[in-house]
């Protein structure tokens, strides 16, 4: 079980969160075409290493958070709120 440091609530159990996948994709605007939306919805890099991903603190403060997590070690290095940005270190 992960312990995710919520910027609002402190470290909380993974069980309080729901996962929402890759947080590096941006929803295309009104002029986006099928290819752009396809990439937004389906195309994933699936890295072995650091990944920025969405976690909602669903059972806590309801905030959508960006979490920098290592997909092999599960280490969580940084968590920011939805409008924040995270530098992805090399794997």
Residues that bind another protein (CB under 8 A): 1-3, 8-10, 12-13, 15-16, 18, 20, 23, 27-30, 32-34, 36-38, 40-41, 54, 56, 58-64, 73-74, 76, 81-83
Contacts (Cβ under 8 Å, ≥6 apart) of 72? 48, 49
For residues 68 and 44, is the Cβ–Cβ distance under 8 A? Answer: no
* Shortest Å distance, C-beta 59 to another protein: 4
Nearer to another protein, 31 or 87 (CB): 31
Cα 67 from Cα 63, distance rounded (Å): 12
């Amino acid at each position: 079980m992960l312990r995710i440091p919520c910027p609002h609530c402190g470290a909380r159990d993974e069980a309080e969160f729901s996962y929402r996948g890759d947080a590096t994709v941006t929803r295309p605007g009104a002029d986006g075409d099928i290819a752009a939306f396809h990439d937004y919805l389906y195309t994933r890099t699936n890295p072995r290493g650091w990944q920025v991903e969405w976690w909602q603190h669903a059972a806590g403060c309801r905030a959508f958070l960006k979490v920098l997590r290592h997909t092999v070690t599960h280490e969580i290095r940084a968590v920011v709120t939805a409008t924040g940005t995270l530098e992805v270190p090399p794997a």
